[in-house]
Structure 1
Amino acid sequence: MTEFVIQPAPQASVAVAGSQARFPIRRVFCVGRNYAAHAREMGKDPDREPPFFFTKPADAVVAAEGTVPHPPLTENLHHEIELVVAIGKGGTNVSPAQALDLVWGYAVGVDMTRRDLQDVAKKMSRPWDWSKAFDASGPCGPLHAASSIGHPSKGAIWLKVNGETRQEGDLTELIWPVADVIAYISEAVALEPGDLIFTGTPAGVGALNPGDVVSGGVEGIGEITFTIGKR
């Protein structure tokens, strides 16, 4: 049995709908600018610039319920509602035709972003880690097994703040569908069971303040609701 010089951190995991079992998280990949309207609102040209990828630590994923803490170092915390894909089988150089065979299930998640820190990082050509990979930056609802719900390729995706609709879109608007995203990632790294993929957000991202109630969902997968905690 392996001995460690300090106590290992608990295994990061996400709930599974209808089960007491949990899905262990290995890594978290996030797709940037994967909805054309969102790419445009961020000042980019989706026809000229393909999506790119960034990551979050596994333990940045927290339950999208109750209170999600407001992070320090920001005056401009943003919401980005997303379809989340859970990988159940590993693979490298996977073709789009085979990619969905790797999927264990799907969930609704939010990519929380310290937008002011991200803007500074962009201007200074620095990494985005401080703006994307902070504690509790990936609220996520329970996973639903693909064996039960299939592989969604269409359906509404939305987010509301205090009952007011902020983001609306449809999975058909993904520039790169789930299968293409999986195939592309597998060319760069070996996907492994436990990897999560946040697939991008539609237009309408905006600021969140302490006390705001965030609700959202993806048609056919589920809905989430949580409150932003104190600064």
Structure 2
Amino acid sequence: MKIICIGRNYTEHAKELGNAIPEEPVLFIKPSTSLNTSSSFDIPSFSEDIHFELEIVLKISKTGKNISEEDAQYYFDEISLGIDFTARDVQSKLKEKGLPWEKAKAFDGSTTVSDFVSLNEFKNKEEIEFELYQNEELKQAGNSKNMLFNFHQIIAHASQYFTLEKGDLIFTGTPKGVGKVNSGDVLIGNLEGKKLLEINVK
């Protein structure tokens, strides 16, 4: 199982980090060892600036390669919420040197995922709302309609480079409002108003 992530997929998030708006999906991969299935997140010792990034996550339902945008709908039928925890201080140093982001993005426990929900439960699969609260304060509010590249475009693009396999996860990008986490924080992720994710930061 691999975890494919899309960077800078919301215009306002790209702007808040001072990044250019991409002309095609920005892809990076996390290893399975980054997946954290518990309800807690331990701040790693190598960073003093860990950020939360809430995202809609797709679960690939069957193997495919060079998938068209028209056929992409047949390769996932469940979504969830996930947090891509990012060592922003480490990432900034790597970006300055033109180096890969893995140390900042793919470290052990950096990927949390909620339970998955069937797409059939959503009235409008093109406009899915999601929110992140930090200690009961709203920090991120996103809607999938505002993505630069939609679910089908993401699947089609990623499958040009990587064979997508059943069980693979795709993080589809985070909206504006990312911020630092601190020990003792409680992070809540809502999908269409329903709480799906609760993480206690240690």
| TM-score, normalised via structure 1 length | 0.82
Unpaired runs of 5+ residues, structure 2, are none
Q: Deviations over 1:49-99 (max 9, x none)?
A: 43311111113122362x211122000000000000000111111111100
C-alpha separation in 1, matches of 2:149 and 2:57? 14
Runs of 4+ in 1 over 2 A off after TM superposition: 48-51, 145-152, 220-223
**Aligned pairs, how many?**
202
- Which is greater in Rg? 1
Question: CA distance change for structure 1 residues 213 and 222 in 2, over 3 Å: closer, same or farther?
Answer: closer
CA contact (8 A) 1:161 1:212 kept: yes
Secondary structure, counterpart of 1:119 in structure 2: helix
Root mean square deviation of aligned Cα: 1.7
> Is 1:109 paired with 2:87?
no
C-alpha separation in 1, matches of 2:155 and 2:74? 10
Question: 1:150 deviation in Å?
Answer: 7.6
Question: 1:103 deviation in Å?
Answer: 0.5
Question: 1:220 deviation in Å?
Answer: 7.0
2:175 equivalent in structure 1: 202
Question: 1:105 deviation in Å?
Answer: 1.2
Alignment counterpart, residue 57 of structure 1, candidates 31, 35, 44? 31
C-alpha separation in 1, matches of 2:120 and 2:163? 23
2:51 equivalent in structure 1: 78
2:198 equivalent in structure 1: 225
2:64 equivalent in structure 1: 91
CA contact (8 A) 2:188 2:195 kept: no
Structure 1: which amino acid aligns with 2:41? V
Q: Percent identity?
A: 34
2:161 equivalent in structure 1: 188
Unpaired runs of 5+ residues, structure 1, are 1-25
Q: Using CA pairs below 8 Å that are at least 6 residues apart, which structure has the higher relative contact order? A: 2
Secondary structure, counterpart of 1:210 in structure 2: coil
Structure 2: which amino acid aligns with 1:38? H
Bigger shift: 135-144 or 48-57?
Answer: 48-57
C-alpha separation in 2, matches of 1:187 and 1:150? 30
C-alpha separation in 1, matches of 2:77 and 2:38? 20
Alignment counterpart, residue 178 of structure 1, candidates 151, 171, 181? 151
